[in-house]
């Protein structure tokens, strides 16, 4: 569920701490306006990172939806094939799944490390 609330920047300034708490709810974000025109979107850092990762995946794997639909079609028709695993596909594109102890798996790659560097 994505829920957007539009408010003027001046009102957001007065309620900033409340807005920051609100956007911690998944799918909730604020569109801040100036003179009635949208200027910026306020969302949680976690939600923003999720959007960035999705955009990277869409860019790196532009045919992903088509490929998934083909697999679904093959499964429904009984036309089973040997499909590569997610790990094989990601390795083919230069990604590597890394096990961080008992924590969840995460994707590690050169691009992600480069994009996480902060300018000084």
Say if pTM beats, i.e. exceeds, 0.85.
Answer: no
Which residue's structure tokens are 């850092």? Answer: 45
Q: How many CB atoms lie within 10 A of CB 30?
A: 21
Tokens of residue 63, six digits: 């045919």
22 and 67 part of one domain: no
Report the CATH number at residue 24.
3.40.1620.10
39 and 67 in a single domain? The answer is no
Confidence of residue 4 (pLDDT cuts 50, 70, 90): confident
Q: In terms of domains, do 32 and 65 share one? A: no
What is the predicted pLDDT for the residue at 116? Answer: 52
φ, ψ dihedrals at 7, nearest 5°: -140, 155
CA dihedral 115, 109, 44, 25 (to 10 degrees): 170
Asked whether residue 108 is domain-assigned, the answer is: yes
Do 40 and 68 lie in one domain? The reply is no
Q: What is the mean pLDDT of the chain?
A: 80
Q: In percent, how much of the chain has pLDDT > 70?
A: 78
């Amino acid at each position: 569920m994505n829920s957007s609330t539009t408010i003027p920047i001046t009102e957001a300034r007065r309620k900033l701490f409340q807005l920051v708490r609100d956007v911690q709810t998944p799918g909730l974000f604020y569109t801040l306006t100036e003179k009635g025109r949208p200027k910026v979107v306020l969302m949680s850092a976690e939600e923003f990172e999720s959007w960035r990762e999705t955009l990277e995946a869409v860019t790196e794997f532009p045919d992903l939806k088509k490929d998934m639909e083909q697999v679904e079609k093959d499964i429904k028709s009984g036309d089973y094939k040997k499909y590569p695993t997610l790990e094989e596909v990601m390795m083919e594109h230069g990604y590597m799944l890394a096990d961080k102890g008992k924590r969840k798996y995460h994707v590690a790659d050169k691009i992600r490390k480069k994009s996480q560097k902060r300018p000084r």
